[in-house]
Chain A
């Protein structure tokens, strides 16, 4: 009996271990040097991962039938309790978050070396891991909301970690404020859920989706969708993510690539039984995902910051996941989430290693030809690039192909969506090819003889993630639907879009591989052998269009400026007016009125205080007289 109970409860340990570590490090901040901090945080992360793996194995032995643990009931009506769940979906996230957390912390020990706030970084980091686990392991919307808000907070802390840089402080604010827009939607969605279902528990809600009307479900979905858009940096709430690159690179790898930004995708898969009842919401998810995927991929083409390319790439890949959710391919979405987490963490850590070796230079125009100096980093980033481009048999191919095939399988208008998604996949391969070639291959005329390969603490995580980026795709291939089995409890009430079979699937796969290869080849033509310099561009009159594309891409279609112009400055003007009218006239006016009124009356009355005793005696006498008069007059008046 005891064993059974402890088995169920043990995964709670891996949730709270990072939290305890954060507190422990915080309490011993002054005492611990870097080595001690490393010792505790790495061991705790490894232990947390081990427990997560153990729980996952236990879950697998239980045929992925989840367990619910209600810690306590907070309010009985409506039914609100604090509880956690371990099922296929949260199990995958548990493994992913704790595993990547360990690998990236290992990387961080080298990257953050000799930072003046070294232990603070790990405190925030562990706090983030805890918040993320709270988010993914929750068995109800309330705990999820706690996690949802806390990851926002810890993300803010890590983005503006180097808060002495004004840009970093600003970026943190921006991320927080834009996320607030999304959280507002999420919160309203939760209120509608509570109103209709009288509980926050996922399973109760998702088993009773038939009890509410489709309109209500659409309303709930749309509000929750707003939350997902904010957290997962989807159009139009995406502009915070590129700015978030001001934070330390390993933190970006974990938060702004692998885990936190996928919270929106995770949440939408969690509520997939709700979503499938609302065609409007599904269509909107696909359309916005598509816009995001294309827009971000287009913007990534002409970025020069090594991290910004990856940031736009992340946004674009998240767009792919949203497309999959909209197309009803929830397994494909989670699959892409998992593979993306590995290869994007790999790419970010690789970028971190490059930045570290380049003495914090982030402009890829000043790099080039680093392959000879940094062979391991170059080859591992090459693996990441191939994986994200969808080259078989690397991880990205399997997941991206599954998304494309599922979109195609929906038919109708989804054929157009499929073609556009394929275009986005092509752009992905192109900009990633450019990225790799500009950093490691192309000679930009800079002398890099003083650049060395990153230290072992950095290359080892790269190698580990590189291996995963190659092989993780095999967990869910058309021949072996592993992930579908893992998620069967979550998708019990969901109609998952099935992949087309036979020759169609092969043709689709060939097309998606073709898109990836074409992208890489074109990138090679432009940035590898520099074709455009060898042929006369003026003959084709391509100079202006290329300049236009470059300009638009670099400025993200001027969406940021548009947003600034309309929302930010409009809001500023409005608030300024409000400040003048409400604060200046109403509030200041009333306060000033009261004070001047007191001032004037006191000035008038204080003239009676002459300081002459005789005057006071006169007043005294006068009032005494008045009293006597009243004393005599009152009985006379009464009678």
Chain B
């Protein structure tokens, strides 16, 4: 009982969602910086995009406005398109060097 009460006392405010989104975004960003496997980096990008989506939805709920949720759909569509193109690129990279590491792809270095 007491435990249920405790749980009921813990009110999940917008801040929680925003913090979660920030954490997710940071994880995604760090992943981008650290990992060199193209597939993992791709997943990191997806993570960041969804963190942003979460922010949109929380803000939308917080302010009681629908536009944020509309934007999420846009982001989802763009992400889907990006997945298609991005995966195709990754496949061709893999075919070329039989690994998905992006560090070898430094032809354009200064």
Chain A residues proximal to chain B, CB less than 8 Å: 605-614, 617-618, 621
Q: How far is the CA of A614 from the CA of B40 in the complex (A)?
A: 12
Residues on A with C-beta less than 8 A from B64 are none
Pick from A606, A607, A609, A611: contact of B105, CB under 8 Å:
A611
Residues on B with C-beta less than 8 A from A610 are 106, 109-110
Q: How far is the CA of A621 from the CA of B34 in the complex (A)?
A: 13
Residues on A with C-beta less than 8 A from B105 are 611, 613
Q: How far is the CA of A608 from the CA of B36 in the complex (A)?
A: 19
Q: Judge whether B107 and A611 touch: CB under 8 Å.
A: yes
Residues on A with C-beta less than 8 A from B108 are 609, 611
9 closest Cβ pairs, A-B complex: A611-B106, A606-B110, A611-B109, A609-B110, A617-B32, A613-B102, A617-B33, A610-B109, A611-B108
29 example contacts (A-B, Cβ-Cβ < 8 A) are as follows A605-B110, A606-B110, A607-B110, A608-B110, A609-B108, A609-B109, A609-B110, A610-B106, A610-B109, A610-B110, A611-B105, A611-B106, A611-B109, A611-B110, A612-B103, A612-B106, A612-B109, A613-B36, A613-B102, A613-B103, A614-B32, A614-B36, A614-B102, A614-B103, A617-B29, A617-B32, A618-B33, A621-B29, A621-B33
Candidate in B33, B103, B105, B107 with the most chain A CB atoms within 10 angstroms:
B33
Residues on B with C-beta less than 8 A from A612 are 102-103, 106, 109
Chain B residues proximal to chain A, CB less than 8 Å: 29, 32-34, 36, 41, 102-103, 105-110
Q: How far is the CA of A609 from the CA of B109 in the complex (A)?
A: 5
Residues on B with C-beta less than 8 A from A617 are 29, 32-33
Which B-chain residue is minimally distant from A603 (CB atoms)?
Answer: B110
Residues on B with C-beta less than 8 A from A614 are 32-34, 36, 102-103
Residues on A with C-beta less than 8 A from B107 are 611
Which B-chain residue is minimally distant from A615 (CB atoms)?
Answer: B33
Q: How far is the CA of A603 from the CA of B24 in the complex (A)?
A: 38
Which B-chain residue is minimally distant from A607 (CB atoms)?
Answer: B110
Which A-chain residue is minimally distant from B41 (CB atoms)?
Answer: A613
Q: How far is the CA of A611 from the CA of B108 in the complex (A)?
A: 5
Candidate in B32, B34, B105 with the most chain A CB atoms within 10 angstroms:
B32
Residues on B with C-beta less than 8 A from A609 are 108-110
Candidate in A609, A610, A613 with the most chain B CB atoms within 10 angstroms:
A613
Shortest CB distance B106–A (Å): 3
Q: How far is the CA of A421 from the CA of B107 in the complex (A)?
A: 89
Which A-chain residue is minimally distant from B108 (CB atoms)?
Answer: A611
Which B-chain residue is minimally distant from A617 (CB atoms)?
Answer: B32
Residues on B with C-beta less than 8 A from A611 are 105-110
Which B-chain residue is minimally distant from A608 (CB atoms)?
Answer: B110
Q: How far is the CA of A618 from the CA of B105 in the complex (A)?
A: 17
Q: How far is the CA of A608 from the CA of B103 in the complex (A)?
A: 15
